[in-house]
Amino acid sequence: MVFKRRDPKSWPRAVLEFLWPRGGWARAFHYVKHRMRRLPDSPERIARGIWAGVFASFTPFYGLHFFIAAGLATVMRGNVIASLMATFFGNPLTYVPIGVAALSTGHWLLGDKMDEAVQRSFGGKFVDAGADLRDNFKAMFTDETADWTGWHVFYDEIFFPYMVGGVLPGIFFATLCYYLSVPLIRAYQKRRKGAIKAKFDALKAKAAAKADAKRKAEHHSAGE
């Protein structure tokens, strides 16, 4: 296959590069920023795509951020490619602060107290929910009774507060990125157009000089 890797990644390597990309997160960030600025679209449309991608990063639907971002960008008439790239806002370095902000806001909006709600560790609730899925799947083929207690606790104390609480910080940071992006992208596109025009003018002048030199040479030959 044309696009098949010559050295297929092993799953430990894939996980490691997800947590720490080759070249580090700073290089990955600058690459995404560079690619986003070069998108062939208006600054406003690109910025609306960025808004959609950043907002999607604050939702608890991990694994679906691309689809959420693309859907929002389509509705907002933003740049879909920019929205997909902007989901980079959510990464292993930011997932923890994003989760803390979303959960804290969610419990506050719902009137819950974090210390009362967390009777089991954060990770333990994930484990319990996963165990419920596993055990209840087995129960479909045995005489065991399905028990969704762990899943209900996970939904009530983590997933739902995260979903509700992610809206406000998601809107705040997405809007902040929008207003920061528009002037930066506009300035970059203007500078890039100027550079392209200057390069084109230089090539045009070089071609004209070459043609003039050729014409003078021909005129000189004719005079002899």
In angstroms, the CA 157 to CA 118 distance is 7
pLDDT score recorded for residue 170: 94
Tens of pLDDT, residue by residue over 64-109, are 999 999 999 999 999 988 888 888 888 878 888 998 899 889 989 9
Give the model's pLDDT for residue 20.
Answer: 47
Residue among 166, 212, 215, 178 nearest 68 (CA): 166
Full-model pTM: 0.69
How high is the pLDDT of residue 144? 80
Give the whole-number percent of the chain exceeding pLDDT 90. Answer: 25
CA atoms of 147 and 40, how far apart (whole Å): 53
Separation CA 56–CA 49 (nearest Å): 11
The position carrying tokens 């990309």 is 21
pLDDT > 70? residue 213? no
Q: Which of 156, 163, 192 is nearest to 43 (CA)?
A: 192
Residue ranges covered by each domain of the chain: 11-181
pLDDT of residue 175 exceeding 90:
yes
